[in-house]
């Protein structure tokens, strides 16, 4: 306990001895006020947590011709729990203030508030000084910073906008426009709006101008001519373009009621034999134009729809023997559509059949296209031995099996099977003995094995007993460089619940197996991995990648190995 005595007045103050701590700051802010205002001046402190502060006392000096003290309180401060402070105001222009509590102060900020009535006039000012400040019995030590109060004319600062609900920052504090604040002449204030203010999905407002010519962030000095500020924003809407193909142009922000131009390319080539063709726009428009426009009176979305097309490559076994419709090199066909192919041999030649992606003697031939297709129209010579057909019956790995049938034979010694490549001439690879003269049909077979990768041409050289030779038409076949797949099949087919897909690899290879619907959409992906040479089985339970049962119908299994794709049709039916 210590008795605090000064002049003719006393008051009792508790001083609690504490260990010496580092200095802390006690500060007063500067204020602008107007005549007759009631103003609260806060005495602030830096962080005093864990400093053991349980009491304080100090003297506050001011100009009593400008300021008249009204009361002193701890409400709303970090010392609020201490109760009422001790105050001595017997000396004009001076207040002695003290307080103590049962628990130490913690935190930072105001720890005592002094309320004054402004009795000075415009232009007056008063320094407010802290003297003789002490926490406890002098520990922790304190550094004080004084303040000043200036009496000025108050002005109403109003900030408005052409758009309600915009935000504005004034001297670091955020407000919603419109806002009206009390400020003082001669003071400067930093007023700022965000250049872009988002107002929901696809809508934003962009800063245009202040009525005083300032930038989005600028300093305003208050005088009678700068009390009313108005900021103008431009409203913008976003145009979103949804398109996986066609390199869309035009997505972005547009001023309200302006015209947005958007477009896509007609074709998007995904590979040499797959492309996507633009069909139409939908969502917030419906048009078949590649390029179009919209009035941007709200945020909008347009979606470009494309169809997948596969190329049908058409080749001839020999040139100048005939033509096809459609002609070589082929045409684009929308996935899932049918194409009709027709072959027309020239006068001295005949059509033998189709080979490649489809083996058939039908003419014309109708095919459903679900993937790129290579097909060859085979033409051949007319010769004395009347052939019913001469065709490549089967190709497996590096082997090719040929089958031909005669309707009649006259003096037929036999057939030499000739083979050539693109870089070599025809050479004999086999001889098949004929049946001399006969009015009945006879079947002949030959299998060429152990072929290297490449393109091969085969012809029959029919020889009679007089050594007169006649050449047949040529059949072309391609042994794929990475043709490691011998078989792609499934059992049972059709099926109603489960089916097993079987592949036979002729060598170790990277394998990818997927299931598609007739629209070309992926339904199920088994896995992609490297498998050893031999037979491998995969079970499909008629479900998609999400484990959901798929509808009954026709599905396509696509097998990719290094440099080769194979397709197999699956039929899923449900028992009634």
Report which of 186, 112, 190, 180 is spatially closest to residue 150, judged by C-alpha positions. Answer: 186
Digit-coded pLDDT (tens) for 61-97: 999 999 999 999 999 999 998 988 999 999 999 999 9
Q: What is the pTM of this model?
A: 0.50
pLDDT > 70 in the chain, percent: 93
Burial class (CB in 10 A: 0-12, 13-18, 19+), 448: buried
Burial class (CB in 10 A: 0-12, 13-18, 19+), 364: exposed
Cα-Cα end-to-end distance for the chain: 102
Report which of 137, 142, 56 is spatially closest to residue 99, judged by C-alpha positions. Answer: 56
- pLDDT value at 41 more than 90: yes
The pLDDT of residue 20 is 45
Match 């690899």 to its residue by tokens.
505
How would DSSP label each residue in 229-279?
EEEEEEEEEEEEEE-SSS--B--EEEETT-EEEEE--SEEEEETTEEEEEE
DSSP 518: T
3-state secondary structure 10-59: EEEECCCCCCCCCCEEEEECCEEECCCCEEEEEEEECCCCCCCCCEEEEE
CATH architecture of structural domain 485-572: Sandwich (2.60)
Digit-coded pLDDT (tens) for 208-253: 999 989 999 999 998 875 689 999 999 999 999 999 999 999 999 9
Residue 361 CA to residue 532 CA, distance in Å, equals: 37
485-572 shares the fold of 2-151? yes
More confident residue, 9 or 148: 148
* 3-state DSSP assignment of residue 317: coil
- pLDDT value at 4 more than 50: no
CB 317 within 8 A of CB 278: no
- pLDDT value at 482 more than 70: no
Digit-coded pLDDT (tens) for 143-178: 999 999 999 988 899 999 998 889 999 999 999 999
Burial class (CB in 10 A: 0-12, 13-18, 19+), 39: middle
B/e letters for 517-527, b = 16+ CB within 10 Å, e = fewer, are beebeebbebe
Cβ neighbour number for residue 236 with a 10 Å cutoff: 20
Domain boundaries along the sequence of the chain: 2-151, 154-236, 312-479, 485-572
Match 């000084």 to its residue by tokens.
129
The pLDDT of residue 497 is 86
Residues forming a β-bridge with 408: 386
The pLDDT of residue 342 is 95
Digit-coded pLDDT (tens) for 288-301: 999 999 999 999 99
Residue 215: CA count within 13 A, CB half-sphere: 4
Overall average pLDDT of the 385-398 stretch: 85
The pLDDT of residue 576 is 54
More confident residue, 265 or 396: 265
How would DSSP label each residue in 189-244?
EEEE--SEEE-STTEEEEEEEETT---SEEEEE-STTSSEEEEEEEEEEEEEEE-S
User: Which of 335-344, 462-471, 510-519 shows the lowest per-residue confidence on average (mean pLDDT)?
Assistant: 462-471
**With the CA atoms of 523, 527, 530 and 531 taken in that order, what torsion angle do they form, in degrees rounded to the nearest 10?**
-80
B/e letters for 176-205, b = 16+ CB within 10 Å, e = fewer, are ebebeeebbbebebebbbeeebeeeebbbb
Report which of 370, 323, 319, 371 is spatially closest to residue 344, judged by C-alpha positions. Answer: 323
Digit-coded pLDDT (tens) for 552-568: 999 999 998 876 788 89
DSSP 126: E
For 30, 260, 432, the CA distances from 443, given in Å and listed in that order, are 115, 71, 11
CA angle 416, 418, 424 (to 5 degrees): 150
Token pair recorded at residue 19: 């260990």
Residue 552: CA count within 13 A, CB half-sphere: 10
Residue 155's contacts (CB-CB under 8 Å, 6 or more residues apart) are: 182, 183, 184, 185, 222, 223, 224, 227
Domain spanning 312-479: which CATH class is it, in words?
Answer: mainly beta
User: Which of 44-48, 173-177, 376-380, 512-516 shows the lowest per-residue confidence on average (mean pLDDT)?
Assistant: 376-380
Residue 149 CA to residue 137 CA, distance in Å, equals: 31
Residue 298 CA to residue 255 CA, distance in Å, equals: 10
Residue 382 CA to residue 473 CA, distance in Å, equals: 8
The pLDDT of residue 83 is 83
Report which of 100, 105, 5, 13 is spatially closest to residue 53, judged by C-alpha positions. Answer: 105
Residues forming a β-bridge with 414: 433, 463
* 3-state DSSP assignment of residue 422: coil
Residue 232's contacts (CB-CB under 8 Å, 6 or more residues apart) are: 161, 162, 208, 209, 210, 211
- pLDDT value at 11 more than 60: no
Residue 460 CA to residue 385 CA, distance in Å, equals: 11
Characterize the bridge pairing of strands 267-271 and 252-255.
unpaired
Task: Determine the topology of domain 2-151 in CATH.
Answer: Immunoglobulin-like (2.60.40)
Digit-coded pLDDT (tens) for 178-210: 999 989 888 899 999 999 999 889 999 999 999
Mean pLDDT, the chain, whole residue set: 89
Token pair recorded at residue 553: 């119908």
Token pair recorded at residue 322: 């005939």
CB 405 within 8 A of CB 442: yes
The pLDDT of residue 85 is 94
The pLDDT of residue 15 is 42
Residue 337: CA count within 13 A, CB half-sphere: 13
More confident residue, 439 or 275: 275
Residue 240 CA to residue 226 CA, distance in Å, equals: 42
User: Which of 66-70, 341-345, 365-369, 572-576 shows the lowest per-residue confidence on average (mean pLDDT)?
Assistant: 572-576
């Amino acid at each position: 306990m210590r008795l605090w005595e000064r002049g003719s007045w006393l008051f009792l103050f508790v001083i609690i001895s504490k260990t010496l701590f580092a200095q802390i700051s006690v500060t007063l802010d500067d204020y602008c006020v107007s005549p007759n205002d009631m103003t609260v001046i806060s005495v602030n402190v830096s962080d005093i947590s864990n400093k053991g502060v349980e009491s304080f006392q100090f003297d506050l000096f001011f100009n009593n011709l400008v300021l008249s003290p009204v009361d002193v309180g701890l409400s709303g401060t970090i010392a609020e729990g201490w109760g009422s402070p001790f105050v001595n105001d017997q000396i004009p222009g001076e207040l002695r203030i003290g307080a103590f509590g049962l628990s130490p102060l913690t935190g930072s900020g105001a720890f005592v508030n002094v309320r004054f009535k402004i009795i000075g006039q415009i232009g007056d000012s008063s320094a407010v000084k802290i003297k003789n400040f002490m926490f406890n019995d002098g520990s922790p030590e304190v550094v004080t910073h004084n303040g000043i109060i200036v009496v000025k004319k108050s002005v109403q600062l109003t900030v408005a906008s052409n758009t309600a609900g915009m935000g504005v920052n004034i001297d670091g504090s955020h407000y919603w426009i419109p806002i009206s604040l009390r400020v003082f002449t001669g003071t400067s204030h930093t007023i700022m709006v965000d250049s872009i203010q988002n107002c929901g999905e696809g809508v934003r407002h962009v800063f245009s101008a202040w009525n005083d010519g300032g930038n989005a962030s600028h300093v305003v000095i208050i005088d009678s001519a700068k009390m009313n500020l108005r900021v103008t924003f431009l409203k913008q809407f976003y145009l979103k373009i949804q398109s996986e193909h066609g390199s869309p142009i035009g997505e972005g922000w547009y001023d309200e009621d302006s015209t947005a131009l958007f477009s896509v390319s007609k074709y998007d080539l995904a590979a040499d034999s797959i492309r996507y063709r633009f069909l139409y726009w939908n969502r917030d428009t419906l048009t078949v134009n590649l390029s179009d426009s919209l009035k941007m009176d709200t945020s909008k979305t347009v979606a470009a729809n494309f169809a997948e097309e596969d190329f049908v490559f058409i080749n001839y076994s020999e040139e100048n023997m005939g033509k096809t419709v459609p002609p070589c090199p082929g045409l684009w066909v929308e996935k899932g559509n049918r194409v009709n192919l027709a072959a027309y041999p020239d006068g001295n030649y005949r059509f033998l059949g189709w080979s490649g992606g489809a083996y058939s003697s039908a003419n014309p031939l109708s095919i459903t296209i679900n993937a790129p297709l290579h097909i060859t129209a085979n033409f051949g010579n007319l010769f004395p031995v009347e052939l019913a057909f001469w065709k490549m019956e089967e190709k497996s790995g590096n082997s090719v099996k040929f089958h031909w049938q005669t309707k009649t034979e006259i003096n037929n010694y036999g057939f030499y099977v000739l083979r050539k490549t693109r870089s070599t001439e025809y050479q004999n690879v086999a001889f098949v003995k004929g049946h001399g003269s006969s009015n009945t049909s006879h079947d002949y077979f030959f299998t060429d094995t152990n072929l290297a990768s490449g393109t091969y041409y085969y012809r029959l050289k029919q020889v009679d007993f007089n050594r007169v030779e006649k050449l047949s038409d040529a059949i072309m076949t391609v042994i794929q460089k990475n043709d490691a797949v011998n078989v792609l099949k499934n059992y049972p087919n059709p099926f109603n619940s489960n089916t097993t897909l079987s592949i036979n690899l002729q060598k170790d290879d990277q394998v990818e197996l997927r299931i598609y619907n007739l629209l070309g959409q992926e339904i199920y992906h088994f896995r992609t991995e490297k498998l050893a040479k031999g037979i491998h089985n995969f079970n499909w339970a008629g479900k998609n990648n999400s484990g959901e049962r798929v509808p009954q119908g026709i599905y396509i299994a696509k097998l990719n190995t290094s440099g080769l794709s194979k397709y197999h049709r699956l039929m899923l039916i449900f028992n009634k």
